[in-house]
Every structure is written in C-alpha cells, then in structure tokens.
Amino acid sequence: MEIITNRDGEILTLKLKGRLDTNASMEFEQQVEESTNQNTKNMIIDFSDLEYICSSGLRVIIQAAKKLKSLQGELVLCSMEDYIQEVFEISGFDTFLKIFASKEEALKSF
Amino acid sequence: MTSDIDNIIKGKSFSFTLDNNFSELDRLHPIVEHFGHVHGLEKRKKFEINLVVEEIFTNIISYAYEDKNDHPILFILLCDKNNVTIRIEDDGAPFNLLEAEPADLKADLEYRSIGGLGIHLIRKFVDEIKYQRQENKNIITIRINCGIKEG
C-alpha cells in the first residue's frame, strides 16, 4: 500500500492507495507515529484510492484518533467507497469518527 | 495467475494451503480475488469474502500455535449458484472463533477496546458459520450468499 502525504497549512492528509491489509497496517501505524506530534495534530485520512481494509487497519485508525485527541487535535476521514464506509459503520466507528464525502469537506471541518 | 489455476478454479472447488505466516497474505489476496473474478462476483462481495478470509487467517496465525514452526492451513473455496462456501482447517490448539468475546461496539473512543473487531466483522458478513473440532483440527466453514448468475 502506498501512503501519500500532503499538507494544507497545519492539516496533514495521508492518502492511502491500494489495500490496507494486516501487513500494510503495520507500515501505516509507523507512518502515523512518525507524522503525529505537537505540531501535527490535525489529520485527514483520504480513502479515495483505498480498495480494501481489515480489522488491523481499523485498529491503527482508532489508535491514531486517540493519539491526536490526546494532543488536542483531531483525526477525520474522507472519500470512502461505500463498502469501505460500511465497515466503519458496522464497527460503530462512525459514531465517534467524522467521515466526509470529500477532502474539501474534511478540510473545512477543522 | 496462470491458466492452470483458472482450470482448477472453474471446477467444483478450489483448494490451497498457506503457512501460518503474515507474509502469506500476499499469496492469499490474489487467489481470493481471482476466485471472485472467475465466478463473476461483484466488487462488494469480493471485498467481503476477502475480508472474512483474512480475518480468519490472521486469527489462526495469532492464536492457534504456541511453537515457532510452520503449519499448513488448508483453504477450500467452493462456488455454486447462490453461495460461496469456504472451509478453513488448521491443526492448532482448539480454538472456536464463535465463542470469542464480541467487540464492545457501544464504547466511545476513550474506552473502545481493540479486541474482537475481526470476529465481529466476520459474523456480520457471513450468512452461516460453523465450527468443528475433528481429528485434532479446527475446521471453520462459512457460507456467504452471493446470488451469483450462472456463467
């Protein structure tokens, strides 16, 4: 899986491309760890090019959300395929993670 | 994928073994993807099957064995008119996925525990799931309704 990073002011966007399977989740976790700190605490994960996710990926996302919250920041998600969004809904993640239809909307939310 | 595999897949069932190793996911995904493609499954259904198989496989890798040895895990995939049936066998310690603790879905971000999510997803995406312990093997059989058109 490829992770493309982008900055809009203080907001960091991680765009995931490919499949977030158990193996990719470990690299993803590392990327999140390296990217988040006192200066980078607002993050968007862009799912527009992600075609697969599993529970390991969900776990990394929830840990990222917790970490950013502890830094007084926030993680939001955007641009999911319908079947990917369904996984978040089935897991109940949509009750505490904001999911936007587009990156523009996600950026506006900060 | 070679035409040999195509021929096997178009038959009644398709079976393969993987070792209890996360690196084997790189083999698992293309096989399951190809199985779905050959049987004309739609994108969403292919995703669900792929997800369920990965969740079961990674559970086995994580929990079934205490030694550091390679163990073969057998997968049998079968597709008929309306259903995909998947059978996964491992020779690890007795472990019934169905008796595992469900995820706490009501907990908010602070208290949400990490465990149980994979099993929750499996239950949500399969129509039937059965566990058997036979001859020192764990056997999980799942059925996913697909409403596949005859091809």
Q: Which of A22, A71, A81 to probe by mutation at the B interface, max B CB count within 10 Å? A: A22
Closest CA to A1 of A14, A12, A34, A21: A21
d(CA A67, CA A42): 11
**Pairwise CB contact (< 8 Å): B120 & A22:** no
Q: β-pairing, B128-134 with B83-90?
A: unpaired
- For B43, the enclosing helix (H) or strand (E) is helix B43-63
pLDDT in tens, B10-35: 556 889 999 999 999 999 999 999 99
Token pair recorded at residue B132? 């058997």
DSSP 8-class letter at B98? G
**Pairwise CB contact (< 8 Å): A62 & B50:** no
Nearest CA in chain A to B117: A55
Counting residues of chain B whose pLDDT is more than 70, the rounded percentage is 79
pLDDT of residue B147: 72
CA distance B14 to chain A (A): 23
pLDDT of residue A39: 86
pLDDT of residue B151: 47
**Pairwise CB contact (< 8 Å): A82 & B44:** yes
pLDDT in tens, A57-104: 999 999 999 999 999 999 999 999 999 999 999 999 999 999 999 999
d(CA A47, CA A24): 14
Query: Does B29 touch chain A if contact means CB atoms closer than 8 Å?
Result: yes
HSE of B92, CA atoms in CB hemisphere, 13 A: 27
pLDDT in tens, B83-131: 999 999 999 999 888 887 666 665 555 455 556 789 889 999 999 999 9
> Which of A54, A58, A95 is closest, CB to CB, to B54?
A54
pLDDT in tens, B57-91: 999 998 889 898 999 999 999 998 789 999 999 99
Token pair recorded at residue A63? 């840990």
Question: CA end-to-end span of chain A, whole Å?
Answer: 27
pLDDT of residue B68: 87
pLDDT of residue B103: 60
pLDDT of residue B97: 81
Could you tell me the pTM of the whole model?
A: 0.90
Q: Is the pLDDT of residue B1 over 50?
A: no
Q: Is the pLDDT of residue B49 over 90?
A: yes
Model confidence at B4, pLDDT cuts 50, 70, 90, reads: very low
Residues of chain A whose C-beta is under 8 A from some C-beta in B? Answer: 19, 21-23, 51-56, 58-59, 62-63, 65-66, 69, 82-83, 87, 90-92, 95-97
Quick one: average pLDDT of A45-54? 98
Counting residues of chain A whose pLDDT is more than 90, the rounded percentage is 95
**CB contacts, 8 Å: A50 with chain B:** none
**Pairwise CB contact (< 8 Å): B29 & A56:** no
∠ CA B107-B104-B92 to the nearest 5 degrees? 150
User: What residues contact B69, with CB distance under 8 A and at least 6 apart?
Assistant: none
- Predicted complex ipTM: 0.93
pLDDT of residue B47: 97
pLDDT of residue B113: 54
